[in-house]
Amino acid sequence: MATHRRPSTGRTHVLVGAAFVASGMLLIAPAGQAFAAPPGDSGAGTTCTNSTAPECLTRNTTTAAVSPGIGAMAALPSFAVRPGGPLFGLFGNGADALPGCVDSACNGGNGGLFFGNGGNGANGGKGGSAFLFGNGGNGGIATHAGQAGGNGGVGGFFIGNGGNGGAGGLGANGGNGGNAVLFGDGGAGGVGGRGVTGEPAANPSPAGTAAAGANAPAAGCPTVCVGASGGAGSDGTEGQAGGGGGRGANALGGAFNTGGTGGAGGAGGTGADGGSGGRGGITSPACGGCSGTGGNGGAGGDGGNAGTAPGGSGATGGTGGTGGTGGLIAGNGGAGGPGGTGGTGGAAATAGRGGAGGNGGDTLAGGVCTDAGRCSIAAGSGGAGGTGGTGGIGGAGGTGGTGGVGGSRGGPLGSAGMGGLPGAGGEGGAAPGGAGGSGGSPGGISGAPFGTPGTPGASGATGNAGTAGDTGSAGTAGSAGSAGTAGP
């Protein structure tokens, strides 16, 4: 007769016990040791390295890393799906703050009571903290000028690293690294924000345009007719553009006609543009053996030099965040954040542009001059563009920010955090010269399929550069963290 035995529950007890033992082994494993993925899990996204602060508590993270400190966590299973937060508030990672958040919504959520990393902050929000086991979340990067980076979250009470501080906005400090409690490394301080750019220098207020040169009256001559030149434009005063040159006289009716040259444009006042050159006079030969040459365009006036007031100095870069404190029993202090780069010096005042050269005068053939060989016909050439003004004085670059203080070593095991690197000095403000004026266009020939064309005017030269601002000095390096006190 078959013997009936009560089914044993020992396997169940063993499995449950094994699960807890396995969890305990994960928690007390040597720092930096990577664990194999659970059965059926490819382990993708859970590889841990020793290059950056750890983010290895979950399988659903991207490339994770483990700090060489004893508080490093490796490949703990995730019990929650982001962004919902911990399962029943007990197991899993805190929710990451969402892009576009405002105010307290930018803080990362706290990890589960038993297991879980804190969520990452956004837009300058702080990282979430872990409770018993887990790493603190990273502070959010600031997105506005003057906004400090978010502080890193606190690591788990028993084991866990502090989160890293976020980078500061323009002119603001980096966030502080989160602290570890018993076992773990402090988080690194965030980078200080770049200094604000200096204000650009200003020229005198615009004051209109100086008087233009007079147009020369048309000349009617029986034999030799040379048109008078146009009047020169007046030079501008402070902030006033140079006056345009007057038009050269048209030469009409004579046997040998030459149009008048256009007047030169006036020079621009401080920071103002030069005046345009006047157009050359027109000719209209019509008799056998006659000649007609269009007048040349006038030269453009030179641009005014920039004002002498320098650009504003760039502001000092933000201070790097303080590194988090290492665990009380064992753990390294976090490194201080680098200081921010000094602000760029303000740009020099703008130099005036050279005036455009005047266009050459046209030649209009008529009568027997429309036949080749009966007349000498030439068009006027364009005037040269004016030279640009000399640039002003750029502002000095700002001083680099001070590196953050390294985090303290919490206990007898571990090292104090290194001080942050000093920020680089800002660049000096630029002081370019004004652009040269464009050359005038040549005159045209109409009424005859022959004649000598005019030439375009030469472009004006760019003005000399002014004095660029000095580069700012580098900031001060942060001090190393303190040695800490002996643990229990």
Of 273, 362, 371, 470, the active-site residue reads 371
Cβ–Cβ under 8 Å, residues 269 and 429: no
- Find tokens 């002003």 and name the residue: 392
Cβ–Cβ under 8 Å, residues 209 and 241: yes
Please confirm, yes or no, whether 41 is among the known catalytic residues: no
> What does the alpha-carbon distance between residue 472 and residue 405 come to, in Å, rounded to a whole number?
22
> What does the alpha-carbon distance between residue 82 and residue 14 come to, in Å, rounded to a whole number?
32
List the structure tokens of 469.
């601002």
Catalytic residue numbers read 371
